[in-house]
Structure 1
Amino acid sequence: MKKFDLHVHSTCSKHKMWGIDGINTPEEIVDRAVQIGLDGIAVTDHNTIKGGQRAIQYVKAKKVPLLIIPGAEIRTITGDILAFGLSENIKAKLTVHETIDAIKDQNAIAVVAHPYKYNTKMALKLKDSSIRSRFDAVEVFNANITKKANKKALRFVEDYNMLGIAGSDAHYKMNIGKAITLLDINNLSVDDAFSAIKNNKIKLFCSYTPLRNIFYLYINKFRQMVKKRIGKGNKTCI
């Protein structure tokens, strides 16, 4: 079994207010994942694959023993979708069907992100079998949201016989690995990882993000926002 965190953000994730949403570079994320003994991560920045591309370049250059699944967390008009295995960016704020069409055009995997998070209507959409059937899996545990929301997601997956994964939704490197998806694979390859997900050859090990880490994250986001507003710039995805 190989240990994966399937929902990680870097400085390539942007935020309208904060400027950046993840406070660590793709390279820092890779180093942290290796440090804690992960075998792979999915870099899922908001509406961009650039973080994953940078992570792949870093892994190759430094010969780091870590599998990078390039992806994105794509905002639709209804909620967020995690896409694993992207080679091109997908436009934000399309319909769910349009977004999944674009994901499948790249032979990538479509996963519902935190369907019961407070600011999403994705759970309601999933009641529609024509939408539900197009997803490969549902994020049933997200280390950054409430226990109630995660329990609802797990219950939904059980009721509708869908596949479930876990992800930390880390925006700070110390939160990586709080939610781990174990994949039953022998070879570290994207194809084998996808096969394990689609065939439910997985186990989940989950914990929540500590409050001290959340506090540290938002202190740093606030600092970045101040730097942005006074024209000092901020860490960006270059």
Structure 2
Amino acid sequence: MKFVDLHIHTTYSDGVLSPEEVVETAVRAGLSAIAITDHDITDGIERAVMVGSKYGLEIIPGIELSCVHKGKEIHMLGFYINWENSWFQGKLKVFQQARVRRAHQIINRLKKLGIELDEEALFSQAGEGAIGRTHFARALLSSGAVENMQAAFDKFLVKGKPAFVEKFRITPEEGISMIQRAGGIPVIAHPVYGGGQKSFLKRMKSKGLSGIEVYHPSHTASQSRRFLETASELNLLVTGGSDFHGGPTETAPIGSIEVDYAAVEALKKEKLGRERKNRRIME
């Protein structure tokens, strides 16, 4: 059997491994395909594709968009996106600029608490990628302000805590539309955290949702079974992945969530079907 991991982050968002290191780790894990799904940025895809071709590892270009519905955060994965699409990149630029503004707001809030972070080191850690709370958690740990990464979130960075700042989000409908316009397949991520209600999924399917991330490290076996039943009932695709970020708190290594290659074949079939439909419309 061939296995895949359809949810992986790199240093271009809040992962600790470069695209090259992610590919090499996936190869060692014996995977046949992986999806690069950084938060609100696609800059790591090209590097992963180049190295993946060297090893014979199939790289699926992806994205993870932050959405909100009735105050609840919901993430939307997009697979087989045309990541070089200029319109799509323009939309992502809005996300990235908002992340920088948010980062400065968090820095100022921490300063008021008497915590001075090395701003140059903080932004250097994010590199060319999208800065987020995970980068702050690492910086707080390095500064000695907290004893571990989780404490950084619990004390400062989650909603209701003194350094928390809401991030820029779009609606799930907007996320679905963005992914579709970039030629991608929209799939709701880790529905246990939000968006897993059948009524919501049914409504999102009417807006173009194609699948559910059934298999995720945060899902119990019973939750995965429930999401699998919902996917079957609503005729939605099934995906899964490790949601790998890396670092000392990582509990799900690349390839640790067993997902059959059939999930990739189903995504390809969906992509082909949409392309054919679009061609017929244009004729």
TM-score by length of 2: 0.56
Opposite residue 74 of structure 1, the aligned amino acid is L
CA distance in 1, matches of 2:11, 2:243: 13
- Seen in structure 2, the aligned counterparts of structure 1 residues 102 and 181 have a Cα distance that, compared at 3 Å, is same
Structure 1 vs Structure 2 CA RMSD: 2.8
Asked whether the equivalents of residues 126 and 132 of structure 1 are also in contact (C-alpha less than 8 Å), the reply is no
Give the counterpart letter for 1:37 in structure 2: G
Partner of 1:123: 196
Q: Find the residue that maps to 2:259 and give its secondary structure.
A: strand
Structure 1 pair 193–148 and aligned structure 2 pair: CA distance change class (3 A): closer
What are the ranges of 5 or more consecutive residues in structure 2 without an aligned counterpart?
96-167, 273-283
Q: 2:237, 2:266 within 8 Å by CA — same for their partners in 1?
A: no
Match of 1:95 in 2: 171
CA contact (8 A) 2:192 2:218 kept: no
Q: What residue number does 2:64 align with?
A: 73
TM-score of the pair, normalised by structure 1: 0.66
Distance of 1:165 and 1:128 partners within structure 2: 15
**For residue 9 of structure 1, what is the aligned residue in structure 2?**
9
What is the aligned partner in structure 2 of residue 179 from structure 1?
257
Which segments of 5 or more consecutive residues in structure 1 lack a partner in the other structure? 14-20, 200-238
Mapped to 2, the partners of 1:126 and 1:197 lie a distance apart of 23
Structure 1 residue 68: deviation in Å? 0.7
Between Structure 1 and Structure 2, the one with more helix by share is 2
Deviation, 1:167, is: 1.1
Q: 1:9 Cα deviation (Å)? A: 1.1
Residue type matched to 1:4 in 2? V
The equivalent residue for 1:42 is: 35
**Partner residue, 2:23:** 30
Deviations 1:176-195 (A, max 9, x none): 1112332349xxxx8x6633
Cα distance between partner residues in 2 of 1:164 and 1:41: 15
Give, in whole Å, the separation in 1 of the partners of 2:218 and 2:25: 18
How does 1:79-228 map onto structure 2 within 5 Å? 79-86=74-81, 87=83, 88-89=88-89, 90=92, 91=95, 93-117=169-193, 120=194, 122-124=195-197, 126-127=199-200, 129-133=202-206, 134-147=208-221, 149-172=223-246, 175-184=253-262, 194-196=267-269
- The percent identity for this pair of structures is 34
Quickly say closer, same or farther: Cα 1:150–1:129, change in 2 above 3 A: closer
Secondary structure of the residue aligned to 2:258 is strand
- Following TM superposition, by how much is the alpha carbon of 1:157 offset from its aligned partner in structure 2, in angstroms? 2.2
